[in-house]
Structure 1
Amino acid sequence: MKHYILIAFLLTITLGFSQNHNRTFQSIAYKNNVLKIKVNDGVYKITPFSEHIMETTFIPEGEVYNAQSHAVVLEPKPIQAKLLNVGESYQLRTEGITVNIQKQPFQIAYSYKGKPVISEKKGYVKNDSLETIQFNLTKDEVLYGGGARALGMNRRGHRLELYNRAHYGYETHSELMNYTMPIVMSSNTYMVHFDNAPIGFLDLDSNKDNTLTYETISGRKTYQVIVGDTWTNLIDNYTDLTGKQPLPPRWALGNFSSRFGYHSQKEVEATVQKFRDEQIPLDAIIIDIFWFGKDIQGHMGNLEFLKDSFPNPTQMIKNLKSDHVNTILVSEPFVLTTSKRWEEAVEKEVLATDSVGKPFTYDFYFGNTGLIDIYNPKGKTWFWDIYKGLADMGVTGIWGDLGEPEVHPSDLFHATGTADEVHNTYGHDWARLIAEGYKADFPNQRPFILMRAGYSGSQRFGMIPWSGDVNRTWGGLQSQPEIALQMGMQGLGYMHSDLGGFAGNLQDPELYTRWLQYGVFQPIYRPHAQEDVPAEPIFWDEHTKALAKKAIELRYKLLPYNYHLSFQNHKNGTPLMRPLFFEESDNQNLVDYSVTYLWGDDLLISPVLKAGQTSQEVYFPKGSNWFDFYTDAIFKGGITKTVALNTASIPTFVRGGAFLSMAKPMQSTAEYDATNLEVHYYFDAEVEQSDREMYNDNGVAPNTYKGDAYEIVKFESAFKNDILKLSLKTEVMTNYDSKTKNVELIVHNLQKQPRYLKINGKKVKINWDANLKTIVVPFDLDPTQPIEIKIKLKK
């Protein structure tokens, strides 16, 4: 008992001041996995979802509990939890997270395995215009979250508006962008998710008084406190709560041809043919607004091919598909009063309305418009029927643009509430509409859903977000790693940028090249820009084109490694791009560091973000040696080194002890052959043991992981007494037909020719390259027969 009293006392002292002094404790009861605390002005409803997730809702006196969440899909299951009376406090204890309820003065606080996490300060308070929930922060916490912003990795000190809004032509600083989220993450490896849709603010200690405040116009007073032992564990727990990202179609990891925009069928076909003529790999082409209108303005909402410009779209799409090029079409949620579908949209009652139920119309850049009400079943069905018709034609990807929505008047009404109540979740629910439509009508196809706006939990619909209309400048490039890293931490692992930059007419070959080289190591490879400057490498000068081609070919070579990153994200929520503090959470120099990052487990990437650089500093995480991907030069971990730059690539390093799976050259992912692989092993004498995996499936069907329709190739290494043992085996699930693989194993960093080499106990010839310090070991990997390689090294 004394132990529990001490914990309660420490929580109160450590986590700050008591909350609202007018709030008094009345009663407490724990039943059916729900803790209810009656106070004088309402009821707290606290539900443990797991040992790592605790949900708290405050229901003010006179209000009715709203159980509807836009984000949460996890069902709380009864866990081992006990309500303990500890002197003047109660504790709801689990094996992990614990809630401490102090009766007088009233206080709610959270701890994890005995360590304080966060506590309510004033808790819930209703002000004149906003409802708020306030918490204590410790003075040294670094805060992340709030969605996509360009503010520096540490966002503490900012009051962040929660209102999705495009920022055209942003560069190094953007307070508000297309994709906001009601999420705060702490350097103490916990997260608070405010589970509410209406607009508001997230105040991350802007008054510098160690206070976190969530502010909203209305809605649920619900939040989840999520904890983890590591950063990846924390994100895994959060994406358990809000849903895992489905595996994208494998072709989505290839190269896209995209611009604003292609004006005709002839132009689309000629562009694709030029990629093929130049032998630059390509998997998809994105057709912007000119597919349904000749001009930028006046046609939005037509959502059908303009036959003057696209005389035979079905045949065009079929021909592209036969050339292994997927067709993606832009769509927007606006139907202009001048569009071909306006009368139909009015007649079928698919539009958002004014206060008396008439279609709400207003002006914005593209014309006078109405907005599709996706919250009205009529609007949802009407919109999906259009998408279904396009998919029946062969369209394999949907681009949802302007989905904040870009202009969304506050006095507009949706079927479920006002514009401000659903503004932030409009893109989220638009993606839901498409995902659910595919599941019902195309159950054997993985959808590709490209959108620039959503909210917390949108990843579960397969949404692939991008960072909006970034300026085509070095400043625009410099903000991109931060935006992608932050969004990956918040569950959106596929955040990426318009490679080369979107806005403006700066034609800078160096900038374009460096952006495309960075793109090799961002989740989606999609150059896109206004027409003033070409987005596609095929339309640049020969030197720039050659450098772009080299980058794109590397992207395809890394397909097995990258597809495994997609699997890790699907299984555990792990971001593809990861900040270095994931490796060194106690290194204060890394808490605001984004200029170098991890691409998956084993690649360290340092993009070139400034013009005219001949060298740049790179921090190498401790705990590993790092090999230059291009030269095999070795760098010790835990130090910062100045590395020389070259025009052909950006600094890229491989972790010692890594197995790096790579593919043979291809012109599209349709040519990918997982039975013909290069596997690079980076020998490091300091690594006694290592293990890695490579996930593989058919790249097309949904639910291959849950349906046991996949294989995993497992790699292991062990080094002792100058003997290096490498083993490979294939774990094949019941619904997958695995084939024998022709593997070319390249072992790096062998300074002398080995004494002998054995494969499954039999000596074989050693193919050692004295210049590269490598050996090449070819063999067949039968799915039923493991391979063991033993290499005796010379001292």
Structure 2
Amino acid sequence: MSMVGATSVARQIEGDVMKKWFGWVTFVFLLLVASSALAATPTFTAAAVENNRLVISGGEAKLTVEFLSPATARVEFLAPGIESDFQTHMTVSGGLAPAELKKSGDSVTGAGLMVKYTLAPLSLSFVNPEGVELARLVGLDHQPDGSYTLRFAKISGDRYYGLGEQFPNYAVATWFTPMRLNRGGAVEEIYNRHRPPSDLGMPFWLSPRGYGLLIENPVKAEVNLRGPDASYSALGGPARFFVMAGAPYQTLDTLASLTGRTPVPPRWVTGYMQSRYGYHTQQDYFWLMENFRGRKIPCDVLIFDLDWFAYGEGPEVRMGNLSWSPVQFPDSAKLLADMKAQGFKSITIIEPYIMSASHNYRPVLENKYGATNAAGGPYKFEFWGVPDSLLLDYTNPAASDWYAEQVKKIHLTGVDAWWTDLNEPETVFDDLWYGGQPEFKQHNLQALLMHKGMAEMYAREFPDERLFIFSRGSFIGDWRYGATVGEYEHNGRLRQFGVGRIRYQFAERSFVSLLGVRLQGDVQEDTLGALLDTQRITGAGELRLTAAYYQLSGDRDGVYQQYTV
């Protein structure tokens, strides 16, 4: 083909590509226009006090405001299509006591807060006793399918901390992308994912100006702090939020009362935990005990990764067995007894996936414990190269109870605590259903419900024991079940070169990430202990720990400052 002919073909292909691209852009634009046309912005015309609540009404829509003690306003939008009865599992009944509401003109007061309102255009302004405006709702709209958007004004001095454990999107960013505790200017998805690492969005932000805002909705959503307003857009669920006034420590205390407090964990969780993907057999753990104790290196916990239940690779992976492998751990009873005798606690990894080679596959399938398709049939998929895998559905009480019973059996073998993994859940399928609802409505709750079943089992069977879980997935309220977010990196690439130390860039980001979760009341495990990924212990070698501190007041945005100790 001549150069001219090649150029002509190239231009034709380029033209075809451009036409397709333009066609897709046009389609998306028209879809957005159509969606906007369907969106309804209610017109409110009246306000009155009913049953100790301010009720702002207009047509079929209502906006209610009530006060809770201490210093909290609860706001809910009610309209056709809005799922106000959706069970969120995020808050506890009676966590905050009702407070008396008094109306005066276009404002209501209670519990040390004032809410000023206007009807057209709608606004709710939340003011503390010093007369400082903390937050202001400036708009809302909804669609017939139950999706909605809440818009809050950006007030001078606002910064937004919290919103879960968020990492940069490494598909479009690098390890050198700055991470800030202040999420101002970001767009954050409230949808648990494993990119990796885990990315856990939670609908709560904390402002050092003196308030916190919790949106009580676990359905897939987006927080947009990049535009002129701070907006929250959800695909469904209740349109309910809480404004909590006070200094950060007071706000977090209120949040803990509202969502449930973290039970006291076992004392040993404050010690060093040794974790590495690469301890394959019980001999590896006997070796670890000998070296830690023989070299007088402090260690409190040994963590068991996938090999504790596995028989091999590929189709032979028996994820879902939830029992000790007779191949890699033929005498697990002796191993666990020796660990206890030498002062080691044990943690095993457990997951919500049941692979087809597992001896639990048939009972899970026959009893319908797994997620389904829209027709109610079992949802089977390839996972880690294994076909016909299943994912447990923790919205099903029978499935949750069955899983908790397996945990009980493992605990009775001598295991002390739990590493719940892959439970964002890791896989995302648009056509998967949980409990008769599409995936996006229940996805964020799977880890929380997994832990809820385990906590209820412990309360029945082991009431004198303290449950401890560190988990890759989580959501608001999960902490009341003894679960904490764990962040870790196995660092296999560095291990190939014989380097056994912290991967510093990941450690720095984990500090920022986990501090972000702590700014909404969660409790963290020892990050450095979990991140430390050593080669076999030798008498020589370098151990460096990167420490960081963050300032949340003044003009600082929470950018880390690094020290080596």
TM-score interval w.r.t. the shorter chain? 0.7 to 0.9
Amino acid at match of 1:65: S
Matches within 5 A, 1:160-309: 160-168=188-196, 177-204=198-225, 206-207=226-227, 209=228, 211-228=229-246, 230-297=247-314, 298-309=317-328
Distance 1:27 1:231, change over 3 A: closer
**For 1:391 and 1:51, how far apart are their aligned partners in 2?**
40
Pair 1:442-2:462 in alignment = yes
Q: Offset of 1:371 from its aligned partner?
A: 0.5
Superposed displacement of residue 423, structure 1: 0.8
Alignment of 1:112-123 (within 5 A): 112-113=128-129, 114-123=131-140
* Partner Cα distance (2:81, 2:273) in 1: 54
Partner of 2:29: none
Q: Confirm whether residue 480 of structure 1 aligns to residue 510 of structure 2.
A: yes
Instruction: Say if 1:414 and 1:125 are closer, same or farther in 2 by CA, change over 3 A.
Output: closer
- The CA distance in 1 between the partners of 2:318 and 2:551, in whole Å, is 46
* Structure-1 residue corresponding to 2:117: 101
One of 517, 537, 544 as aligned partner of 1:539: 537
The aligned counterpart of 1:424 is 444
Does the aligned pair in 1 maintain the 2:393–2:446 contact within 8 Å?
A: no
The Cα offsets for residues 106-129 of structure 1, whole Å up to 9 and x where unpaired, read as 322211112111111112433889
Deviation at 1:578, TM superposition (A): 7.6
Please say if 1:68 is aligned against 2:87: yes
Q: 1:74 to 1:296 in 2, by over 3 A?
A: farther
Percentage of identical aligned residues: 23
The CA deviation at 1:331 is 0.7
What is the CA-CA distance between 1:383 and the residue it aligns to?
0.5
Give the letter for the 2:382 counterpart: D
Contact 2:244 2:254 survives alignment (8 Å)? yes
What's the counterpart of residue 144 of structure 1?
161
Q: Distance in 2 between matches of 1:51 and 1:103?
A: 27
Number of residue pairs aligned between Structure 1 and Structure 2:
499
Asked whether the equivalents of residues 90 and 476 of structure 2 are also in contact (C-alpha less than 8 Å), the reply is yes
Q: Which residue of 1 aligns with 2:359?
A: 340
CA pair 112-187 structure 1, distance change in 2 beyond 3 A? same
Read off the aligned partner of 2:192 and give its amino acid letter.
N
Distance 1:480 1:108 in 2: 37
1:323 aligned residue: 342
Counterpart residue type for residue 96 of structure 1:
G
Structure 2 match to 1:603: none
Equivalent of 2:383, from 351, 358, 364? 364
TM-score by length of 1: 0.60
Structure 1 gaps, min length 5? 1-19, 171-176, 498-518, 520-524, 529-534, 556-576, 596-605, 609-649, 651-795
Q: Which runs of 5+ in 2 are unaligned?
A: 1-39, 168-178, 492-501
Q: Offset of 1:69 from its aligned partner?
A: 3.1
What's the secondary structure of 2:91's corresponding residue? coil
Three-state SS of the structure 2 residue aligned to 1:178 is strand
Farther off after superposition, 470-479 or 251-260:
470-479
Structure 1 pair 44–67 and aligned structure 2 pair: CA distance change class (3 A)? farther
1:580 is matched with 551
The equivalences for 1:708-719 within 5 A come to none
Equivalent in the alignment of 1:52? 71
Give the Cα separation in 1 of the matches to 2:154 and 2:313. Answer: 48
State how far apart, in whole Å, the 2-side matches of 1:29 and 1:129 are: 26
1:164 and 1:110 map into 2 onto residues whose CA distance is 30
Rg larger in structure: 1
Name the counterpart of 1:612.
none
Secondary structure class of the residue paired with 1:378: helix
* Contact 1:332 1:401 (C-alpha < 8 Å) held by counterparts: yes
Deviation at 1:435, TM superposition (A): 1.5
CA offset at residue 130 of structure 1? 4.2
The equivalent of 2:31 in structure 1 is none
Do the aligned partners of residues 197 and 356 (structure 1) sit closer, same or farther apart at CA in structure 2, a change above 3 Å counting? Answer: same
Native 8 Å contact 1:167 1:469 kept in 2: no
Counterpart pick for 1:154 among 170, 174, 182: 182
Give me the TM-score of the superposition, normalised by structure 2. 0.83
Deviations 1:231-273 (A, max 9, x none): 2112111111111111110010111121113211122112112
- Does the 8 A contact of 1:470 with 1:476 survive in 2? no
Q: Which amino acid aligns with 2:113?
A: I
How far has the Cα of 1:137 moved from its partner?
1.1
Amino acid at match of 2:462: F
Q: Which whole-Å CA distance do the structure 1 matches of 2:354 and 2:396 have between them?
A: 15
- After superposition, residues 550-565 of structure 1 pair within 5 angstroms as none
- CA 1:366–1:289 in 2, change beyond 3 Å: closer, same or farther? farther
Cα separation, partners in 2 of 1:153 and 1:95, compared to 1, 3 Å? same
Q: Give the superposition deviation at 1:391.
A: 0.9
Deviations 1:192-226 (A, max 9, x none): 1111011111111x12x2x0111111111111111
Contact 2:376/2:436 (<8 A) preserved? no
Greater RCO structure (CA 8 Å; 6+ sep)? 2
